[in-house]
C-alpha cells in the first residue's frame, strides 16, 4: 500500500533501534519466551516504579491478559462480569470464552469510563468481577469501584490505554488489584502484539505464568539451561499465551523512547487545543498534561455531522478512528444483560478519534485542523 501523503489515526513509532534488537533475537535463535521477555518484565517494573510486592507477567496480547486475569479472579460458567459497553470487544469476548456473562454498563459522561455509582446498580449475587476500563485520557476510579464491590468481587483494571500514565503522581499499575496493559500495534508503546499483567501477590503471579504457557511456571530457557534437572511435570491447565522474545525485543526498544513519545503527544495535544478550542461545533478532551499520556485524541461533534466529517477527512487523506462502536449494538451481545446506557448512546454517535501519534508532523496536524474548520465552516 502507498502510505505517502496519508495521515493516519495511529501509527507505530519504530526505527532502527527495534530492528537491531529484533535482529539480535533472530541471530540468537531463541525465538520463544526467554531472556528478552524476562528483561522486558523487569524494565516495565522499573519504569513504572512498581514496589517489591508487585509482579509483572508479559502475555501474548492484551486480550489474552484479560482472559488470564478473569481466570485468576475465578470467573466461571454462569458468573456475571460487569464492563462498559463503550469498549474494545476483546474483554467481552474473553468473558464469553470463559462461559461467563458480560453485563454491559454505562459510562460517566465526563470521563468516558465507568464509575462506582454506575456499577452499584448492576451488582448481583452472580457478579464475580468488574472490568474497569481507562478511556484514553481518564484513569478509571478503581479504588472507589473496589469499595463498592467488597471483598468477593475482583476489579480488573483494563489499562490498555494508559501505560506510563499517572494518577496522583503514581504510575498506573501501582494502585489496582489486577492491572492489564496492551502493547498492540497501535498502542502508545507497541510490541507488535503484546500485553502484560501487574499482580499483587506471588501466588497469583505464579498462577499467571502457568496460565500463559501450558502449565509451565518457568520459561523453557531457564528450565533447560539453568536448572540442574529439567522439570517435565505439569500440574495445571494453561493456555499458549506467552510473549515471544521477538515481541519483547521490540518492547524493550520502545521503552527507551517512551519519554520522547510522551513529549511529542503533549505537543500535539497543545496544537489541537490551540486550533480547535474555540470552535462551536466540536468538543475537545481536557487532558491533565502532567500525568497522562493520552492514547487517542477523541473529540465530539454533533451526531448529524459526525459521519460526514469522517468521510470528508478521508477524502482528504486524513484517517480517523472510532472508539468505539458500542458493544450493546453488536449482534453478539444482543441478549446480554444491560444497564441504562444513556450516556453511551449519546457519545457513541458523536465521537471521532483524530490522528494522534508521535510521527505526526506539525504540518500534518495543521492540515487536520484546517480541514476540520473548513468542514465546520468556522
Ligand X SMILES: Cc1ncc(COP(=O)(O)O)c(C=O)c1O
Residues at the contact surface with ligand X, assessed by CB under 6 A: 61-63, 88, 90-91, 133, 158, 160-161, 182, 184, 195
For ligand X, the closer of residues 287 and 295 by Cβ is 295
At residue 181, φ and ψ (nearest 5 deg) are -120, 155
**Cell numbers that stand for 230 in this block:** 529439567
Q: Which is nearer to ligand X, 22 or 189 (CB)?
A: 189
What is the closest distance, in whole angstroms, from the C-beta atom of residue 369 to ligand X in the complex? Answer: 25
Q: Are 241 and 68 in contact (CB under 8 A)?
A: yes
Question: Given the complex with ligand X, which of 133 and 299 has the nearer CB atom?
Answer: 133
| Rounded least distance, CB 10 to ligand X, Å | 10
Q: Which residue lies nearer to ligand X by CB, 247 or 375?
A: 247
Task: Taking the CA atoms of 171, 135, 243 and 235 in sequence, report the sign of the dihedral they define.
Answer: positive
CB-wise, 188 or 253, nearer to ligand X? 188
Task: Considering the complex, state which of residue 155 and residue 282 has its C-beta at the smaller distance from ligand X.
Answer: 155
For residues 307 and 299, is the Cβ–Cβ distance under 8 A?
no
Residues 6+ apart with CB under 8 A from 134: 113, 140, 157, 158, 159, 160, 161, 162, 165, 172
Q: Which is nearer to ligand X, 276 or 327 (CB)?
A: 327
Q: In angstroms, give the least distance from the CB of 223 to ligand X.
A: 27
Cβ 228 to ligand X, closest distance in Å? 37
Q: How far is CA 75 from the centre of its chain?
A: 21
CB 255 within 8 A of CB 189: yes
Whether residue 129 contacts residue 153, with contact meaning beta carbons closer than 8 Å, is answered with yes
Non-local CB neighbours of 343 within 8 Å, separated by 6+ positions? 106, 107, 108, 109
Are 351 and 296 contacting, i.e. CB atoms less than 8 angstroms apart? no
Position closest to ligand X via CB:
62
Q: How far is the CB of 100 from ligand X (least distance, A)?
A: 17
CB of 2 to ligand X, least distance (A): 26
User: Which of 290, 328, 300, 265 has the alpha carbon at shortest distance from 86?
Assistant: 328
**What's the min distance (Å) between Cβ of 193 and ligand X?**
6
Amino acid at each position: 500500500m502507498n502510505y505517502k501523503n496519508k495521515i493516519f489515526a495511529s501509527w507505530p513509532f519504530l526505527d532502527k533501534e527495534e530492528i537491531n534488537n529484533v535482529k539480535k533475537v533472530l541471530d540468537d535463535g531463541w525465538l520463544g519466551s526467554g531472556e528478552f521477555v524476562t528483561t522486558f518484565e523487569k524494565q516495565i517494573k522499573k519504569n513504572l516504579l512498581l514496589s517489591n510486592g508487585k509482579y509483572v507477567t508479559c502475555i501474548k496480547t492484551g486480550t489474552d491478559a484479560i482472559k488470564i486475569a478473569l481466570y485468576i479472579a475465578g470467573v466461571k460458567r454462569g458468573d456475571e462480569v460487569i464492563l462498559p459497553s463503550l469498549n474494545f470487544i476483546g474483554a467481552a469476548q474473553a468473558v464469553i470464552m470463559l462461559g461467563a456473562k458480560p453485563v454491559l454498563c454505562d459510562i460517566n459522561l465526563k470521563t468516558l469510563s465507568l464509575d462506582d455509582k454506575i456499577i452499584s446498580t448492576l451488582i448481583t449475587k452472580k457478579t464475580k468481577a468488574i472490568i474497569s476500563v481507562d478511556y484514553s485520557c481518564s484513569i478509571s476510579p478503581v479504588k472507589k469501584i473496589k469499595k463498592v464491590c467488597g471483598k468477593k468481587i475482583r476489579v480488573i483494571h483494563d489499562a490498555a490505554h494508559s501505560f506510563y500514565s499517572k494518577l496522583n503522581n503514581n504510575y498506573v499499575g501501582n494502585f489496582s488489584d489486577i492491572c492489564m496493559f496492551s502493547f498492540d500495534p497501535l498502542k502508545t508503546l507497541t510490541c507488535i502484539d503484546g500485553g502484560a499483567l501487574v499482580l499483587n501477590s506471588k501466588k497469583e503471579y505464579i498462577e499467571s505464568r502457568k496460565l500463559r504457557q501450558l502449565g509451565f511456571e518457568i520459561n523453557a530457557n531457564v528450565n533447560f539451561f539453568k536448572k540442574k534437572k529439567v522439570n517435565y511435570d505439569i500440574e495445571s491447565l494453561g493456555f499458549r499465551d506467552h510473549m515471544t522474545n521477538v515481541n519483547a525485543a521490540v518492547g524493550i526498544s520502545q521503552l527507551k523512547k517512551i519519554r520522547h513519545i510522551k513529549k511529542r503527544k503533549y505537543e500535539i495535544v497543545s496544537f489541537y487545543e490551540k486550533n480547535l478550542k474555540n470552535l462551536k461545533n466540536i468538543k475537545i478532551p481536557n487532558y491533565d498534561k502532567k500525568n497522562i499520556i493520552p492514547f487517542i485524541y477523541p473529540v465530539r461533534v454533533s451526531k448529524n455531522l459526525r459521519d460526514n466529517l469522517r468521510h470528508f477527512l478521508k477524502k482528504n487523506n486524513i484517517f480517523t478512528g472510532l472508539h468505539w462502536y458500542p458493544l450493546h449494538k453488536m449482534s453478539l451481545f444482543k441478549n446480554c444483560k444491560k444497564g441504562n446506557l444513556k450516556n453511551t448512546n449519546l457519545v457513541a454517535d458523536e465521537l471521532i478519534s483524530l490522528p494522534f501519534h508521535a510521527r505526526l508532523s506539525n504540518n500534518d496536524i495543521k492540515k487536520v485542523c484546517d480541514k476540520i474548520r473548513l468542514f465546520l465552516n468556522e
